[in-house]
Amino acid sequence: MAKKKKKKILLVLVEGPSEETALGHFFVKFFEQKNLESRVHVLHMDITTEDGVSPSNIRSMLLEKIDDYLGRYYLERSDVENIIQIVDTDGAYISDSKIVEDSACEHFYYTENEIRSFNPKMVVNRNKRKRMNLNALCKLREVGRMSYRVYYMSCNLDHVLYNLLNISDEKKRISANDFLIRYQDDLQGFIDLTTKSSFSVMKDYKDSWEYIKNHESLKRHSNIGLVFYRCCN
């Protein structure tokens, strides 16, 4: 009897566990129809703001994370069909004039028009680093000879999926679980949400990135719908 051909893997990279909860199920359900096995790898970090990460080494840093995952599960790079990374813009593309000092803000506080912080310079420096690294990532087409694309949530995943900003980790967990429960048996509803909503940036991949760079990255926008649209057309 002929040996069953092993499915290729779609590897989805996300920052935290709430992203895995909110999105993982839908990648698995959608891409199993394409004969791909989807796996979600939680990085537990925002690689675009990590100390020591820059446009000159972000590809190698990303590849190190991917290889660590593959090694843990006895996989080879040749097993991977595509890599998709989901990132938050966190307002990285706003002008410095929209970063406002506010001594009452212990952490960064986001609105759709500005970022408030007790230390505006810290936000300016964070945004500069994140902006440069995002610009590098969105130009990548492969990592370690594996096809790669990066998609954004703006200002972040909570903003896009739940229309919430500045929520606690506990609220993130609850919101992600509620979102999963709402859509887990409605894959088409999830696809419609990501591709047909007012926040959906359904342009060419390159143009979708130019859009967020030039249209306030604190506003509610996402190009994640392109993941599903490209595979359906």
- The model's pLDDT over 108-133, given as tens digits with 9 standing for 90+, comes to 999 999 999 999 999 999 999 999 99
Residue 1 confidence (pLDDT): 45
Cα–Cα distance, 167 to 13 (Å, whole number): 22
How distant is the alpha carbon of residue 12 from its chain centre?
A: 9
Dig out the tokens for 137 from the structure.
């990532």
Q: Which H/E stretch holds residue 83? A: strand 80-88
Tell me, what's the pLDDT at 230?
Answer: 64
Amino acid at 137: L
Which one-letter DSSP state was computed for residue 143?
E
As given in the structure block, the two tokens for residue 151 are 């998609």
Name residues whose C-beta falls within 8 Å of residue 14's C-beta, 6 or more positions apart in sequence.
Answer: 20, 23, 24, 40, 41, 42, 43, 85, 86
Burial track 203-213 (b if 16+ CB lie within 10 A, e otherwise): eeeeebbebbe
pLDDT tens digits, 44-72: 999 999 999 999 999 999 999 999 999 99
User: What digits encode the pLDDT tens for the residues 194-212?
Assistant: 999 999 999 999 999 999 9
Residue 127 to residue 123: CA distance in whole angstroms:
6
**Is there a cis peptide before residue 155, judged by omega within 30 degrees of 0?**
yes
Pair 195, 124: CB distance under 8 Å: no
